[in-house]
Amino acid sequence: MKKFLFIPLALGLLLQSCDLNHGIKPENISDKDDWGMVTFTLSNGEDLLSVRSSSIYSESAITSLTVVVYNSSGNTLAYGSANANSLSLNVPLGTTGNSVFAIVNKSGDYSSFTKEQLLTQVSDLSDNNAGSLAMFGGKDNVTFAANQPVEVPVTRFASRVEIDGITTDMKAPHTTKSFKVNSIYLINACTSAPFSQSGTGSAWMNKKKYEQGSCDALLYEAFSTPREIQTAAGVKNPITDKHYFYCYQNLTSSDTHGGSWSPRRTRLVIETTLGSDTWYYPIDIVDANGVLPLNSTFTVTSLTITGLGVKDPDDELNLGSISFTVKVTDWATGFSKTVTY
């Protein structure tokens, strides 16, 4: 199923002419160039998601904005930062071949970097928090002209994994045992990404299993009291609330299970207890091309556990033990695809 929403998050540049001159003229600027103030504004979205009972994640909120403008040679022409969704910079009007980049919700001083160096900088998953998600975007061949707006799209580094609920449909002899969900988390999660937003980063967390770390708020959720979704008397108590997780792009094309660590598919793991035995239910988080691209959402729905899982969270699960639907959505374009296993 394809659904085009056409709701891209974009950085709008509102150009206003004025008589302010600049004392430093980069190499593609002449004494005849007119300088003017450019107001860079990034509009706030209103998509608020409850990720934990005590916190709200805003996927489009803007808490900080850094704008870097380069001339045609890739050298810095203007630079500014603000803890807001807009700022103003002085730029030459009428010049051609400029590039504009926006770094959103990520602190740092990028004023000394050339354009080429900026694109090699790295965002870490820890740049994201309950108040904001890190974003980046740019546009080349920009000509500044008074009263002529320019839009530069920005893209989240992270992708979102959502699970909408869990229920059971166990068969005998497992119907007379208590079945509890202890935790839900991502393993084999890539946690770094270059500003160029190409390729897979080099940093990983939860390699093959959960390990407590600095990004647990994004990768892991444990229930303070395990959620009993099936009692020993066979009464079902499905989980109906949503749970959200965030990780970075993973374009690893080949997959493997067990063995020594090597890059592999990111998996959503449901850790459970049936009676006194622990069972894991890993789900590969990939799109139709077998990868996890940035700025996408993966929604797991209608998850029903029907049999025993696996003893290791990175093992391959027999899909006869579980059924679910995954909808993959591109945040940027609104494309969605439903895959049923």
Here the CATH number for the domain that contains residue 69 is: 2.60.40
Domain boundaries, position 203:
158-340
Q: Of 122, 156, 190, which marks where a domain is finished?
A: 156
Same domain, 83 and 145: yes
Same domain, 143 and 162: no
- What tokens were used for 43? 């509009």
- What tokens were used for 155? 């893209």
Residue 4 within a domain: no
Classified as helix, coil or strand, 117 is helix
Same domain, 324 and 308: yes
Q: What is the pLDDT of residues 155-210, one digit of tens each?
A: 889 999 999 899 999 989 999 999 999 999 999 999 999 999 888 999 999 999 99
What distance in Å separates the CA atoms of residue 207 and residue 66, rounded to the nearest whole number? 33
Neighbours of 78 (CB within 10 A): 23
Same domain, 255 and 265: yes
Q: Of 131, 156, 181, which marks where a domain is finished?
A: 156
Residue 328 within a domain: yes
Same domain, 120 and 211: no
Reply yes or no on whether the pLDDT at 112 is more than 90: yes
Q: What is the pLDDT of residues 63-78, one digit of tens each?
A: 888 999 999 999 999 9
Q: Of 156, 190, 217, which marks where a domain is finished?
A: 156
Same domain, 180 and 197: yes
- pTM listed for this prediction: 0.84
Q: How many domains does the chain have?
A: 2
Residue 306 within a domain: yes
Residue 282 within a domain: yes
Residue 311 confidence class, pLDDT cut points 50, 70, 90: very high
Q: What is the pLDDT of residues 40-61, one digit of tens each?
A: 665 443 333 333 333 445 677 7
Residue 1 within a domain: no
Q: What is the pLDDT of residues 116-142, one digit of tens each?
A: 999 999 999 999 986 789 999 888 998
Q: What is the pLDDT of residues 330-339, one digit of tens each?
A: 664 444 444 4
Same domain, 182 and 138: no
Same domain, 85 and 191: no
Alpha helices in the chain (DSSP H): 115-118, 216-219
Residue 310 within a domain: yes
DSSP class per residue in 171-239:
-TTGGGS-EEEEEEEEESEE-EEETT--S--S-EESSSS----TTHHHHEEEEEEEEEEE-TT--B--B
Residue 3 within a domain: no
Same domain, 244 and 120: no
Residue type at 185 in one-letter notation: Y
Here the CATH number for the domain that contains residue 243 is: 2.60.40.3690
- What tokens were used for 246? 């965030």
Same domain, 270 and 326: yes
Same domain, 65 and 177: no
